Amino acid sequence: MRRLRTCQIILLLLIGSVSVQAQNRLIIEADRGETTINRHIYGHFSEHLGRCIYGGYWVGEDSSIPNTRGIRNDVVEALKDIRIPNLRWPGGCFADEYHWMDGIGPRAERPKMINTHWGGVVEDNSFGTHEFLDLCAQMDTEPYISANVGSGTVEEMSKWIEYVTFDGESPMANLRRQNGREEPWKVKFWGIGNESWGCGGNMTPDYYSDLYRHYATFARNYGDNHLYRIACGANGGDYNWTETVMKNAGRHMQGLSLHYYTVPKDWGDKGSATIFDEAEYFTTIEKTLFMDELITKHGEIMDRYDPRKRVGMIIDEWGTWYNVEPGTNPGFLYQQNTLRDAIVAGINLNIFNAHSDRVQMANLAQTVNVLQAVMLTDEEKMLMTPTYWVFYLYKVHQDATLLPISFTSNKYRQGDKEIDAVSVSASKDASGKIHITLVNADPNQEQQINTQLIGATVKNIKGQILTSEQINDYNTFEQPSKVTVNDFKGAKLSNSNLSVVLPSKSVVMLELQ
């Protein structure tokens, strides 16, 4: 039966490739999904960097900005609307100079420090462990804490875990109670070091492997709080790092991270967030698509040491990175967010979905006011960026079943280079609804997609679209809804055939039932 199904798919693809207009050919096997798309793929990352924490989340109880125990209400509600599944904190590079005991107890008595990584500003530690876990509770999201390995100690990390999760009689549990929290928190996700190959200590993979095993030994489970220990993984295409760490420490971890940023030019001049030509746009998308190769190759190494895929790939830093906005602190990494960033986000999330047998978490960098933020704030004002609306559209995939697809795409060409014009992902949720997310990266041409649904009878279809007139359009506090979601009318259903016309530079979500 499966062989007949395969032959049928091949025949449909061949038929669809006869005419140029029908080259975008999609087949969805709606009755064959086996892999669950882990909701944590749709996670976020917030570091003590620029205005991400202070002014982004935290304004203090005495602020005129509406807040709950010092945490902005508008930011919390917006993140709840995209069902944020987890939040990584306190870094980033900052995590490896952060000493958690400076961030507990009465705020007026907390010691100040200099944030040496990001702008050399004073960090007053008014936002610490209790505030972060209160933020997660308000958003109904799971916390992901990165422990200090670079400048910290095993004892410091071990006591932090005890302070947060131990329900018993101990110095750290009693200190937590003294600071106003009787019951322990449930915190499953713990990162053991961040970018240990760079700002986290400039370590070799052999040295880090030994250090990780040491730290992981003392990252203990208390009661029914079972830790998901995440080891520091590779920077981009450093496959030797993955090979060494998996070989030496793979059996001691539950997750292994991977960091990759989409940088259009180079690290010296990353390019503008809003002023770019089509050649630079093409390069941005081309570099974004490299994520698929990275996951494939790192995944192949992990498979050799972990064929059952027990260890999750955790892509806990990803997104676009440009030059900061003119006139802003270069250490604050504040950049605008255009429709180009939405295209990047949609493609990445489709890639993560496709690899959801190995990818178990991903964290966009960063949530508010930093890098590819989903929100920007200015005092009492707050807006949602184009990237926010991609997460709004894609939330339907969280914990849904990935549906197998066969897809041939038209090409988007720039000079002598070409890439797929269209990216796609499909899933079925617990109620039986099928959701398809489509990205047309071509900024000039609409794309017609002929879709064959196998194993499903569909009667109704509706959709939403994110697009704008120009690829570099973005939202401002004066025009906060210039790039936003609207109803999509470009899909037609005829029996098991679905015809979709994707406008240029667009992200579309379809719901079939």
Residues classed as catalytic: 195, 317
Which pair of tokens denotes residue 340? 């180009």
Phi, psi of 89 (to 5 degrees): -165, 150
Predicted confidence at residue 495, as pLDDT, reads 81
* Calculated CA dihedral for residues 182, 183, 189, 192, nearest 10 degrees: 40
Which pair of tokens denotes residue 102? 């400076």
- The gap from C-alpha 251 to its chain's centroid, in whole angstroms, comes to 25
Helix or strand run (H / E) with residue 206: helix 205-217
pLDDT exceeds 50 at position 21: no
- The gap from C-alpha 7 to its chain's centroid, in whole angstroms, comes to 36
Binning pLDDT at 50, 70 and 90, where does residue 345 land? very high
How far CA 420 is from CA of 306, 351, 446, in Å, comes to 31, 13, 13
- The contacts of residue 104 (CB under 8 Å, 6+ apart) are 110, 128, 129, 130, 163, 175, 179
pLDDT tens per residue across span 62-115: 999 999 999 999 999 999 999 999 999 999 999 999 999 999 999 999 999 999
More confident residue, 250 or 21: 250
More confident residue, 303 or 13: 303
pLDDT tens per residue across span 425-441: 999 999 999 999 999 99
CA–CA dist 464, 291 (Å, integer): 26
pLDDT tens per residue across span 123-134: 999 999 999 999
Predicted confidence at residue 2, as pLDDT, reads 53
Between 3-7, 24-28, 508-512, the lowest mean confidence (pLDDT) is in 3-7
Predicted confidence at residue 92, as pLDDT, reads 97
Predicted confidence at residue 496, as pLDDT, reads 79
pLDDT tens per residue across span 325-340: 999 999 999 999 999 9
Binning pLDDT at 50, 70 and 90, where does residue 150 land? very high
pLDDT exceeds 50 at position 1: no
pLDDT exceeds 80 at position 358: yes
Binning pLDDT at 50, 70 and 90, where does residue 6 land? low
DSSP class per residue in 117-156: TTTT-EE---S-HHHHHHHHHHHT-EEEEEE--SS--HHH
Identity of residue 161:
I
